[in-house]
Amino acid sequence: MKRRPGLVLSIDQGTTGSRAIVFRRDGRIVSQAYREFRQHYPRPGWVEHDPNEILESVRAVVRAAGSRAGWKNIGAIGITNQRETFVLWDVKTGRPVHRAIVWQCRRTAEFCAKLKARGIEPEVRQRTGLVIDPYFSGTKIRWMLDHIPGLRRRVSSGRILFGTIDSWLLWHLTGGIHATDFTNASRTLLFNIRARRWDPALLKYLGVPETLRLPNVLNSAGDFGRTRKQSGIPAGIPVTGICGDQQAALFGRGAVTRGEIKNTYGTGCFLVLHTGARPVPPKNGLLATIACDARGGPAYALEGAVFIAGAAIQWLRDEIKIIGSSAESEKIARSVPDSGGVQVVPAFTGLGAPYWRPNARGAIFGLTRGSSRAHIVRATLESIAFQTAEVFEAMRSVCAGRTPPIHIRSLNVDGGAARNDLLIQTQADLLGIPIVRPDRVESTAWGAAKLAGIGAGIWPARGDTQVRRRTFRPKISRKRAGEKMSLWRDCVQRLF
């Protein structure tokens, strides 16, 4: 009997770049490739990507990683992606009707305010688990309909497909399969997370015609079709896993049961708590969303979203130009004992949880004649930990009120910025609990790979592989942590 290939290729399509990693079943990396792509800022607060550039970046890294590992050894492909970024494209030509509008984009803040003024947010929140905010793709679909000439007519004729980035990639990789998974669908403002279906009432509230072709919604581990032959990518490889990036990271950490929690430090920062088979009503600015059970089927989670985390370090590098690389931020920050009273609030695209203030803008407070670039760099790093601490406290409060209560005794972390020891130690100090960081912080790509391996039947549905971990424990008193948080909150309130 012919032995089935045992490697899985994971596509991790993120906000600033695309990565492909080929994994063994034990989590070891066989090969990988990465490519950044351009960010477009047509107006202040607007963020766009070129969908074709994303597609080509994915094809390039898939070709590179797959060739190095040997295509004959790859038994399945998994996809994970930036969840709220979306594309509309023509089914006949395969061309996008506009650049992809990115999750960070705030162009629909005014429309969201009008929807809230109608008093519909409680019902929308009950159906979707989300708040009415430009973060999610639903209101931005309406913006395209209102601003792209002839689009409504094309939508009414049934020619236009909607998809989050996973759907856009899947359609092109497979030659026309239009599908997504529950985790991505749950981030659109169009999907009822309790009924687990596209909701006509939500489409009506947002003014989105039912003739817009929405993708089929499947389990995160399952049959999404097979690749068609294209440049450097062979035909016939099954795509058997799709999952939004934060739920993929949760799955990658082996968090598949009630009470397990992780925080991913990437472009943004996302604290996600698995709540089991039933959704927990979201409070305190948190979101309810769909996650994965142990076999890749739908389960539920609570989430708190920080919009700007690692992106704040990129801002220091690319716009302010006071660091040469993200990696050197820790060394510069450690050159001073503290931030010297400087506070950076990086609300470059508004504030997410627990505030949900789309019109907030970033600011630096506490500058003196003695403030140096090291103080600003340190304050920027600390801002990531402060934002996470606010979300964590909101989540801890909700968990304490559950029956039975959910006790959070430690926090698992992953993501590129989690490699920064100073950031993670600061986080432990503010939260007052141990922070556990694995040596392998690429949990997002690993989660998509595990789902694909399960979906293809080549890997078992079981707990995470054993990896080495480092634990960061609090080093300051709770009183001192409280003083730091109080100063941070004062600065945030001044933005309003």
pLDDT tens, 160-217? 999 999 999 999 999 999 999 999 999 999 999 999 999 999 999 999 999 999 999 9
Dig out the tokens for 473 from the structure: 């424990």
The answer for residues whose C-beta is within 8 angstroms of residue 156's C-beta and 6 or more apart is 209, 211
User: For residue 299, which of 354, 260, 264 has the smallest C-alpha distance?
Assistant: 260
DSSP letters, 138-169, are HHHHHHHHHHSTTHHHHHHTT-EEEEEHHHHH
Neighbours of 225 (CB within 10 A): 17
pLDDT at residue 231 in the model: 78
The CATH number of domain 7-244, selected from 2.60.40.1290, 3.20.10.10, 3.40.50.300, 3.30.420.40:
3.30.420.40
Q: How far apart are CA 100 and CA 40, in angstroms?
A: 10
Question: Domain map of the chain by residue range?
Answer: 7-244
- Beta bridge partner(s), residue 274: 301
Say what angle helices 478-495 and 421-431 make with each other, to 10 degrees: 100
Closest CA to 451 of 310, 251, 291, 299: 251
Main-chain phi, psi angles of 374, to 5 degrees: -65, -40
Q: Please report, in tens digits, the pLDDT of each residue of the chain (496 residues total).
A: 455 688 999 999 999 899 999 999 988 999 999 999 999 999 988 999 999 999 999 999 999 999 999 999 999 999 999 999 999 999 999 999 999 999 989 999 999 999 999 999 999 999 999 999 999 999 999 999 999 999 999 999 999 999 999 999 999 999 999 999 999 999 999 999 999 999 999 999 999 999 999 999 999 999 999 999 987 899 999 999 999 999 999 999 888 988 888 999 988 899 999 998 988 888 888 999 999 999 999 999 999 989 899 899 999 999 999 999 888 999 999 999 999 999 999 999 889 889 988 889 999 999 999 999 999 999 999 999 999 999 999 998 888 877 778 888 889 998 888 899 999 999 999 999 999 998 876 789 999 999 999 999 999 876 555 567 899 999 999 999 999 999 999 999 999 8
- How deeply is 147 buried, as exposed, middle or buried, from its count of CB atoms within 10 A (0-12, 13-18, 19+)? exposed
- Pick from 379, 494, 473: nearest CA to 421: 473
